[in-house]
Amino acid sequence: MINIAVSIHGMFCFDTVIDIRSSLAGERFTTVDQGVNSGISEPRNVVVRSTDEWQRLWQEHTSIFSPPPPLPEVDFSRDIVIGVFLGTRPTGGFSVEILSIRHEGDQLVVEYAESSPGAGCIVLPVLTQPFHLIKVARSDGPVEFHGSVNTYDCN
């Protein structure tokens, strides 16, 4: 039951969470979806600039749910979607969060952090696929991803 509750929360947080973030030198962004269950099982960073791309990604991402949740609306004349998918992890306790986005010249730099359970952590023995999808003001330049891995200790 816990896994189902987590997956429902992860899939529907775009309906209930108003999550607008910014850093001192960064771009404001809004979380579209974040959680630990996805149909995307391989690690992948994505930049989506069109409705067609968005529909394909959302269909793949939500393919493990029946029925799948509705496609979140994005106005691609104003925004793009950026996402980090960690791929399949062997247990619960893993997560990913996009922390900031900043411009460096004509490119966007996405900073994100992966969290993983360390020694002494009690985790659920279920496969998870942590992800974070955001929307940010449209940019047509390249996007570079910089990630860090943080292991938390439960002792």
- What's the pLDDT tens digit per position in 32-79? 999 999 999 999 999 999 999 999 999 999 999 999 999 999 999 999
Average pLDDT taken over every residue of the chain: 87
Give the pLDDT band of residue 119 (cuts 50, 70, 90).
Answer: confident
Which region among 4-13, 33-42, 65-74, 146-155 has the lowest average model confidence (pLDDT)? 4-13
pLDDT above 90 as % of the chain: 79
Q: Of 139, 79, 71, which Cα lies nearest the Cα of 106?
A: 139
Residue 133 has pLDDT above 90, yes or no: yes
pLDDT tens digits, one per residue of 102-113: 999 999 999 999
Is residue 87 scored above 80 in pLDDT? yes
Rounded to 5°, angle at Cα 25 from 145 and 135: 50
pLDDT, residue 152, reads 94
Report how far residue 49's alpha carbon sits from residue 47's, in angstroms, rounded to the nearest whole number. 7
Alpha helices in the chain (DSSP H): 2-16, 51-61
pLDDT at 112: 99
Q: Do 6 and 37 meet the contact criterion of CB atoms below 8 Å apart?
A: yes
Which strands make up the sheet holding 131-137, listed edge to edge? 20-21, 29-35, 131-137, 79-85, 44-48
Cα–Cα distance measured from residue 65 to residue 37, given in angstroms and rounded to the nearest whole number: 9
14, pLDDT greater than 50: no
Task: Identify the pLDDT of residue 155.
Answer: 83
